Structure 1
Amino acid sequence: MANAKNVYGKPLQLCCGNGGYTREGFCYVPLSDMGNHSVCAIVDRKFLEFSVMQGNDLMTPRNELGFPGLKPGDRWCLCASRWLEAYKAGVAPKVNLNATNIRALEIIPLPILEMFTSEPA
């Protein structure tokens, strides 16, 4: 996945320590990733609570999976469809577009993602 590209067609940057479908910290989207974990999000309390209501508790540690649980401010590779659901619900978290995989654009238009960028303009 070393040749993965971000939403701008440039080399994909690291998102987080151990997140993403591959748990390498990059928002790679291998063929086996049916969830398209392509969005590098900086999660906040509103999003985390929304995710719990959608049936995906990202806050509770899962020691058996090596998952420490997320807290506000953590970066994580989210499913593009979940991020879009959060956007429609008014609780989308900020994103790091340099670390967001180009495959996110299959589900989310770039102008919408750009409204939530964490990078300075």
Structure 2
Amino acid sequence: MSDRNVLGDELQPCGTDPLTGFHRDGCCRTDDDDLGNHSVCAVVTAEFLAHQQTVGNDLVSARPEFDFEGLAPGDRWCVCADRWLQSFDAGAAPPVVLASTHERATEVIPLETLQRHSVDVPADPRGLA
């Protein structure tokens, strides 16, 4: 059985540069081993990254021991559903790619909230300059 997104369709990849996902396969797949529920495909913003640093979740600094280079605004990243909601409550939620957001995100975040923050992102956003 394939993983489903919040729209009920097959889950689409979130990002490979940097390589994201709990399983580091580019998708926001989640399972019982993923205690953080890394299910929300977010296009991270400077505001989101700054907010997460203030609450002790440093997503900017490199962590080589976890093969993590750190994030920059514009990166697509599988964010923990509760961390996304935490930023939403603080007014700093990043946009969400619904086709790449796992259906389990709705266990924490109402679908309507995700839809209000949805964005379509092309596979290669460099052409949007």
Same fold, judged at TM 0.5 (above): yes
Specify the alignment match of 2:4 in structure 1.
Answer: 5
Specify the alignment match of 1:33 in structure 2.
Answer: 34
Specify the alignment match of 1:60 in structure 2.
Answer: 61
Secondary structure of the equivalent of 2:5?
coil
Q: TM-score, normalised by structure 1?
A: 0.95
**Alpha-carbon offset, residue 119 of structure 1:** 1.8
Specify the alignment match of 1:73 in structure 2.
Answer: 74
Unaligned runs of 5+ in 1: none
Matches within 5 A, 1:1-121: 3-17=2-16, 18-119=19-120
Secondary structure of the equivalent of 1:105?
helix
For these two proteins, the number of residue pairs brought into alignment is 119
**Alpha-carbon offset, residue 64 of structure 1:** 2.2
Specify the alignment match of 2:124 in structure 1.
Answer: none
- Between the aligned residues of both structures, percent identity stands at 46
Q: TM-score, normalised by structure 2?
A: 0.89
Runs ≥4 in structure 1, deviation > 4 angstroms?
none
Unaligned runs of 5+ in 2: 122-129
Cα RMSD of the aligned pairs, angstroms, is 1.2
